[in-house]
Amino acid sequence: MPRKILLEKNIHPAIQSIVANNNADIISEVQEVIANNKVVVVGMAQNPEPKKARKMFKKLGVNHKYLEYGNYFNTWYRRNALKMWTGWPTFPMIFINGILIGGTQDLQKLIEDDELSDLL
């Protein structure tokens, strides 16, 4: 299932490096944490959903790494780079063994369907 993104051939050469490097540091940081941790939750302050997901993992005794980027009042453009990279529209973004499983509701469904342990 390939996601639709603008092909490099359709980006003028003068701006290709800007497009390629736009907020690349935040994406690299998240990629590194995902590579080094079994479970990663990426969220933002003031959003109750990342907190719910973290509580679920804590209740189940699942260690996880949490990355928090800003809040509703700042850093939206940096978080937007993560949304564009993953294609996932909301926070949290939950990764298990390097796989994006979705957000809090998706985690809850995996727990209810007794499928989370298979991923772990």
**Spatial separation of the C-alpha atoms in residues 89 and 84, rounded to whole Å:** 8
Q: At what angle do helices 76-86 and 24-36 cross, to 10 degrees?
A: 60
pLDDT of amino acid 3: 84
pLDDT at residue 69 greater than cutoff 90: yes
Kindly report, residue by residue over 3-58, the tens digit of the pLDDT. Answer: 888 999 999 999 999 999 999 999 999 999 999 999 999 999 999 999 999 999 99
Unique residue bearing structure tokens 């907020």: 23
Enclosing H/E stretch for 36: helix 24-36
Q: Model-level pTM?
A: 0.92
CATH class, domain 38-119, is alpha beta
The predicted pLDDT at position 2 comes to 82
Residue ranges per structural domain of the chain:
38-119
Quick one: pLDDT at residue 64?
97
